[in-house]
Amino acid sequence: MCGIVGFVGNGVIPGRLLQGLQRLEYRGYDSAGMALCTEDSHLHILRRVGKLANLKNDTPEFLETIHSPIRGGIAHTRWATHGKPSEANAHPHLSQNGTIAVVHNGIIENYQTLKDQLIRQGFEFKSETDTEVLAHLIEYHYQGNLFSAVLSALHLVEGTYGIAVLNALEPNVLVAARKSSPLVVGLATEGNYVASDMVAMVQETQRVIHLDDYDVVLLSEDPPVITNLKNRIREYEVSTVDFHLDDVSKGNFEHFMLKEIHEQPDTIRNATRGRMDYETGNAKLNGLGCTAYDIAQIRHVTIVACGTSRYAGLVGEYLIETLAGITVDVEYASEFRYRNPVIMPGTVVLAISQSGETADTLAALMEAKLKGATVFGIVNSVSSAIAREAGRGIYLHAGPEISVASTKAFTSQVMVLTLLGLLLGRSSRHSLTEGQNLIREIEALPEKIEYILKNERPKIYQAAQYLKDFENVFYIGRSFNYPVALEGALKLKEISYIHAEGYESAELKHGPIALLDSRKPVLAIMSNQAGYEKIVGSVKEVMARDAPVICLGTEGNTTLSQYSPYVLSIPECPELLSPVLNTVVLQLLAYEVAVAKGLSVDQPRNLAKSVTVE
């Protein structure tokens, strides 16, 4: 949601912080700020509303006012929860006497109670945020040791937090802590980092310590000390992460979204590599930690996820039911937790999440565990909260996804669900030959995506020029491609701000058709599939209401031009794999519309990459 980076040690600390924030900006971009602690025991704060560029522009002038060596710094990029984007609400927040500075991700749920108590003690609040409570609370408990003061303050706090704290009186020290909000420590040659995501420090170090919930860490130039909230020191491992600068830069692409769309042939290969065995016509998903017997015991699958990940789950429903004959239901993670779900014996709960941080999905996963379900994570971010809470599962291996609109993660999620369908299917009703045929088709998929990326762009561009001036667009699809209609519509609304809705095509006539007229184009997913004629029927109903049509079909289908001058296509492929190809086209379409409208593609308004609040 928001991004945190902090550093203690030597070198150009403001430069390190700004570079870190630059890489974290995709997580939130309402406002940004930094606090620097100097050797002469002063804190210096700069905060700016809007994108990071505003903070960057004013940094040189700000630094001219600092005349003592800088020993430590913390910085933050914000996605507003409590209080509007403003300089007063931007982080870092200072305590009453100006000695404590705090940056914070998460929500302090009992902040109003704490605020009232602090006000009674004479503290004055300058912002509308929950975070400011932490700064005052730490000052209130400070008795010459920042670490102890943070521990005491956190004992009183309910909610979630990833925090980094500086104290003017201890300029060589930074204290950080986490609960349900990611935080990682990085060991560099000139000092130590803390960040909400390791992308913030990848340029400087790949040696990291993953913090657990309730960890409190003391950073200085010496090796970090980690304790729990009871001040018990814990051992930790330093891991070397395989993460490179190229993974988090745009390369030759104009936007991260376009780069990530183009990465999909490789991300599909990565999601399936080493996980298919042609000899047995089966999938190998070692991360599930299941024997063939365990797999054969699965009677029902429940999928919990949000947004795009949930739509991947809906494709998974069709895939698993078709391939394995096992019933699947797909839940909004946000609802699952609160509606007291029934978990029957033999149920497996899959939590799907790109970031691995989504608060609703994490909470749903915990609820499922509490009710005794076997849980698996389908996650992109390694060692993220959901991956760790699930304990077992399947990583996507898609690499960092920086664009706020999810693209490559979706197609990898669908691929992983296809492999799961294959595994479940082979343990029940699928023959060796059927398994082998599916593996062959999966292996052919990356080249088909490459073909789309190479050949479809001009037609997609034309369709985008046509769509960009409309205010409403409908997407329709059936069966495996019904969730694709939902995902296509979500992509368009997220980055082009055009109102778009996805419908199961037959459902249109049960209400939504009332909305159709010449100003409401309908994008119909018409690739070769069972029930194709029924979709044609829906398209004819649309045309009869004067609504313009855009077709997305299978290459070689010459009949589509009778429905629309805009015909987009995918190469021939089995219906159950067509969601991946159709989605790539719809991602590009949304992208071209947003570019044509001159919008901020990678950082659309009001959104943030990972939603770590409920």
Catalytic residues: 2, 609
User: Rounded distance, CA 428 to CA 423, Å?
Assistant: 9
In the DSSP assignment, the letter for residue 458 is H
With CB under 6 A as the rule, give the number of residues binding ligand M6R: 16
Per CB under 6 A, 363 contacts ligand M6R: no
CB atoms near residue 84 (< 10 Å): 11
State yes or no: residue 456 binds ligand M6R (CB under 6 A).
no
From the list 570, 529, 25, 605, the residue with the least C-alpha distance to 264 is 570
Among 88-96, 303-311, 468-476, 519-527, the segment contacting ligand M6R (CB under 6 A)? 303-311
Neighbouring C-beta atoms of residue 189, cutoff 10 Å = 10
Q: Which is nearer to ligand M6R, 115 or 397 (CB)?
A: 397
d(CA 156, CA 138): 11
Q: Of 130 and 260, which has the nearer Cβ to ligand M6R?
A: 260
Max Cα–Cα distance, the chain, nearest Å? 79
Which listed range, 82-90, 390-398, 403-411, 524-532, lies at the site for ligand M6R (CB under 6 A)?
A: 403-411
Which C-beta is closer to ligand M6R: that of 135 or that of 359?
Answer: 359
Stretch near ligand M6R under the rule CB under 6 A, chosen from 28-36, 318-326, 365-373, 398-406:
398-406
CA angle 597, 602, 608 (to 5 degrees): 120
Choice between 332 and 461, CB closer to ligand M6R: 332
- Give the residue closest to ligand M6R by C-beta: 307
87 CB-near residues (< 8 Å, 6+ apart): 31, 47, 48, 49
- Residue of the chain from 38, 96, 282, 309 that contacts ligand M6R (CB under 6 A): 309
Q: Name the strands in the sheet holding 70-78, side by side, starting at the edge strand that comes first in the sequence.
A: 42-49, 31-38, 70-78, 3-9, 191-195, 184-187, 207-210, 239-240
- Residue in the structure block whose two tokens are 């999601």: 271
Contacts of residue 246, defined as CB under 8 A and 6 or more positions apart, other chains included, come to none
- Give me the DSSP letters along 56-90: HHHHHHHHHT--S-EEEEEEEEE--SSS-S-TTTS
**What is the closest distance, in whole angstroms, from the C-beta atom of residue 217 to ligand M6R in the complex?**
25
CB of 560 to ligand M6R, least distance (A): 28
Contact criterion met (CB below 8 Å) for 285 and 378: no
354 binds ligand M6R (CB under 6 A): yes
Contact between 404 and ligand M6R per CB under 6 A: yes
The answer to whether 425 and 319 are in contact (CB under 8 A) is no
Binding span for ligand M6R by CB under 6 A among 159-167, 205-213, 301-309, 472-480: 301-309
Q: Quote the tokens at residue 274.
A: 């080493």
Beta carbons of 105 and 4 less than 8 angstroms apart:
yes
* Per-residue exposure over 557-566, b if at least 16 CB sit within 10 Å of its own CB, e if not: beebeebbeb
Query: Of the candidates 387, 452, 440, 380, which has an alpha carbon nearest to the alpha carbon of residue 416?
Result: 380
Q: How far is the CB of 486 from ligand M6R (least distance, A)?
A: 11
Q: Could you tell me the end-to-end alpha-carbon distance of the chain, in angstroms, rounded to an integer?
A: 11
603 makes contact with ligand M6R (CB under 6 A): no
How does strand 161-167 pair with strand 100-105?
antiparallel
105 binds ligand M6R (CB under 6 A): no
The residue among 308 and 411 lying less far from ligand M6R, judged by its C-beta, is 308
Smaller CB distance to ligand M6R: residue 23 or 93? 23
Of 181 and 308, the one with the shorter C-beta distance to ligand M6R is 308
Distance of CA 569 to the CA centre of its chain: 29
Q: Which stretch binds ligand M6R (CB under 6 A): 30-38, 148-156, 277-285, 355-363?
A: 355-363
Please say whether the beta carbons of 228 and 31 come within 8 A: no
Task: Please report whether residue 361 would count as binding ligand M6R according to CB under 6 A.
Answer: yes
Q: Least distance (Å) from ligand M6R to the CB of residue 604?
A: 8
Binding ligand M6R by CB under 6 A: which of 38, 272, 353, 603? Answer: 353
CB of 459 to ligand M6R, least distance (A): 24
Task: Assess 307 for contact with ligand M6R (CB under 6 A).
Answer: yes
d(CA 586, CA 589) in angstroms, rounded, equals 5
Q: Can you count the helices (H) and strands (E) in the chain?
A: 18, 26
Q: Tell me the closest approach of the beta carbon of residue 583 to ligand M6R, in angstroms.
A: 12
196 binds ligand M6R (CB under 6 A): no
Question: Where in 238-306 does DSSP place strands (E)?
Answer: 239-240, 276-277, 282-283, 300-305
Measured from the CB atom, the residue of 407 and 569 that comes closer to ligand M6R is 407
Instruction: Based on the shown chain and the rule CB under 6 A, indicate whether residue 260 belongs to the binding site for ligand M6R.
Output: no
Name which position in 34, 343, 405, 586 contacts ligand M6R (CB under 6 A).
405
C-alpha to C-alpha distance for 506 and 508, rounded to whole angstroms: 5
Cβ proximity of 137 and 12 under 8 Å: no
Contact flag: residue 374 with ligand M6R (CB under 6 A): no
Q: By CB under 6 A, which span of 175-183, 401-409, 431-439, 568-576 interacts with ligand M6R? A: 401-409
Of the candidates 494, 575, 592, 602, which one interacts with ligand M6R according to CB under 6 A?
494
The residue from 306, 396, 485, 550 that contacts ligand M6R (CB under 6 A) is: 306
CA dihedral 23, 26, 31, 33 (to 10 degrees): -20
Task: Kindly tell me which of 89 and 353 has the beta carbon lying closer to ligand M6R.
Answer: 353
**Which CB atom, from 13 or from 608, has the smaller least distance to ligand M6R?**
608
Nearer to ligand M6R, 66 or 607 (CB): 607
Q: Which stretch binds ligand M6R (CB under 6 A): 475-483, 514-522, 549-557, 605-613?
A: 605-613
Q: Is 610 in the site for ligand M6R (CB under 6 A)?
A: yes
Name which of 382, 410, 422 is nearest 284 in CA terms.
422
User: Does position 355 bind ligand M6R by CB under 6 A?
Assistant: yes
Exactly one of 31, 96, 105, 358 binds ligand M6R (CB under 6 A); which one? Answer: 358
Window contacting ligand M6R (CB under 6 A); options: 67-75, 122-130, 443-451, 604-612: 604-612
Of the candidates 22, 611, 612, 613, which one interacts with ligand M6R according to CB under 6 A?
611
Using CB under 6 A, pick the residue from 77, 308, 418, 427 that binds ligand M6R.
308
Binding site for ligand M6R (CB under 6 A): 306-309, 353-355, 358, 361, 404-406, 494, 607, 610-611
